[in-house]
Chain A
Amino acid sequence: MNDSTAVIEVRLNGESHSVQPGTTVATLIEGLAIESTAVAVERNRKIVPRSLHPSTAIEAGDELEVVTIVGGG
């Protein structure tokens, strides 16, 4: 078995994305360039509260949205 068969495929902000098995919401957002305190996360259209990020495992086929604030009027 090679690594490519082990990864989990998800949708992240509308794009295909691969994560390692065992990835949690917390480890996913720690891997992003932006500070993890500046984001909010939805998993399959439900908000994952910050307190649950470390215990929420990402599963194959998950639809994840990670948002932050940007300039706007």
Chain B
Amino acid sequence: MNFEPTCITETKPTPLELGGKTFRSRLLVGTGKYADHQTMNAALEASGCEMVTVAIRRVDLSSSDNLLSQLDRERYFLLPNTAGCFNAEDAIRVCHLSRELGLGDWVKLEVLGDKKTLLPDPIGTLEACQSLVSEGFKVMVYTSDDPVLALRLQDAGATSVMPAGSPIGSGQGILNRNNLSIILEQLEVPVIIDAGVGTASDVTIAMELGAEGVLLNTGIAGARDPVAMAHAMRNALDAGWFAARAGRIQKRRYAQASSPTEGVLGE
């Protein structure tokens, strides 16, 4: 992606503009897999995120565990996902329940193809996206790195198209820079790289490619020190955002001296 030359005087990336709202951070962080609520909240704070994803599940009848009471709704914008849904109908059902839970109209749509790869079912994803948009949902849609499908999801009215860097929870980072670059070049809606982030440099690469943001969960929650990794992810995102706008040098096959080649002693 090419950005217009700018004189950047800020020390932080600009806020994320999405679906008519402004978010203070371009890092979106999941709330799954933390050892406890305290670690989760410390990691969320270290990440600087505003938008956090949650899942919707059957209540454990004997448990009083209540994530809703653990998240500061003044501070965090909750984005419910449809994780675990393998067809459009189930995903739409979860979105309706999310509205009833008071989480509003924003959803992270996932319609998955199979349990082993957790890759999206492209047809079910597109069907669900169309239907949810017509019901007034703001759909942030998880998809593969297929540029054609990404365009179709944009046409369906998605608020954000969110291609995977690599399979969910795999930690493999950005596997297909070429496809992601094509998606980023072609789409007008904000593109957020979702899934597969293993470490901080993956976030930087996503942002250098021109993504508007990055959504991750396991990369932080699964790290030995989730709070330290959240801090790293936050800074990695900032680094990538600035680098994308600063304009990298061209790659060359051979060396090019940085110091003057004239006046060297002994010549």
Residues of A participating in the B interface, judged by any CB pair closer than 8 Å: 12-14, 32-35, 38-42, 45, 47, 49-50, 65-73
A35 CA to B102 CA in the complex, in Å? 14
Chain B residues 97-120 with CB under 8 Å of chain A are 97-98, 100-101, 103
**What B residues does A32 contact at CB under 8 A?**
59, 61
In the bound complex, do residue A73 and residue B32 qualify as a contact, i.e. CB atoms below 8 Å apart? yes
Q: Is the CB of A34 within 8 A of B31?
A: no
Contacts of B40 in A (CB 8 A): 71
A-B contact count (CB 8 A): 106
Instruction: Give 9 nearest A-B pairs by CB, closest first.
Output: A72-B55, A73-B30, A73-B217, A40-B100, A71-B32, A71-B31, A33-B64, A13-B58, A69-B54
Which residues of chain B are near A50, meaning CB under 8 Å?
A: 100
CB distance from A38 to the nearest CB of B (A): 5
Determine whether the beta carbon of A72 is less than 8 Å from that of B59. Answer: no
CB atoms of B30 and A68 under 8 A apart: no
- Find out whether the CB atom of B83 lies under 8 angstroms from the CB atom of A14: no
Q: How far is the CA of A72 from the CA of B63 in the complex (A)?
A: 18
**Number of residues from B at the complex interface, CB < 8 A:** 41
Q: How far is the CA of A52 from the CA of B63 in the complex (A)?
A: 24
Other A-B pairs beyond A33-B60, A73-B33, 5, CB < 8 Å: A45-B93, A67-B57, A72-B31, A73-B81, A73-B215
Q: Is the CB of B32 within 8 A of A72?
A: yes
Do the beta carbons of A70 and B69 come within 8 Å of each other?
A: no
Interface string of B45-70 (1 = CB under 8 A from A): 00000000111111111111111110
A68 to B33, CA, bound (A): 17
Interchain CB contact under 8 A, A68 and B66 = yes
The answer on a CB contact under 8 Å between A40 and B32 is: no
In contact, A69 and B68 (Cβ under 8 angstroms): yes
Task: Let me know if B101 and A67 touch, CB within 8 A.
Answer: yes
* Nearest chain B CB to A28 CB, angstrom units: 10
Residues of chain B at the chain A interface (Cβ within 8 Å): 30-34, 40, 53-69, 78, 80-81, 83, 93, 96-98, 100-101, 103, 168-169, 195, 215-218
> How long is the Cα–Cα vector from A72 to B67 in the complex, in angstroms?
11
Task: Tell me, rounded to whole Å, the shortest Cβ–Cβ distance linking A1 to chain B.
Answer: 28
User: Closest Cβ of chain B: how far from A14's Cβ, in Å?
Assistant: 7
Give the chain A neighbours of B30 by CB distance below 8 A.
71-73
Known: A38-B66, A47-B97, A72-B81. A67 touches B32 (CB 8 A): no
Among residues of A, the one whose C-beta sits closest to the C-beta of B61 is: A32
Contact across chains for B57 and A70 when beta carbons are under 8 A apart: yes
Determine if A70 and B61 form an interchain contact, defined as CB atoms under 8 angstroms apart. Answer: no
What B residues does A38 contact at CB under 8 A? 66, 68-69, 101
Determine if B100 and A68 form an interchain contact, defined as CB atoms under 8 angstroms apart. Answer: no
A71 touches which one: B34, B93, B103 (CB < 8 A)? Answer: B34
Contact of A67 among B33, B34, B59, B69 (CB under 8 A): B59
Q: How far is the CA of A40 from the CA of B58 in the complex (A)?
A: 9
Question: Is A70 in contact with B55, judged by CB distance below 8 angstroms?
Answer: yes
Chain A proximity of B36: nearest CB distance (Å): 10
| Highest count of chain A CB atoms <10 Å: which of B31, B32, B34, B68 | B68
Chain A residues with CB under 8 Å of B101's CB are 38-40, 67-69
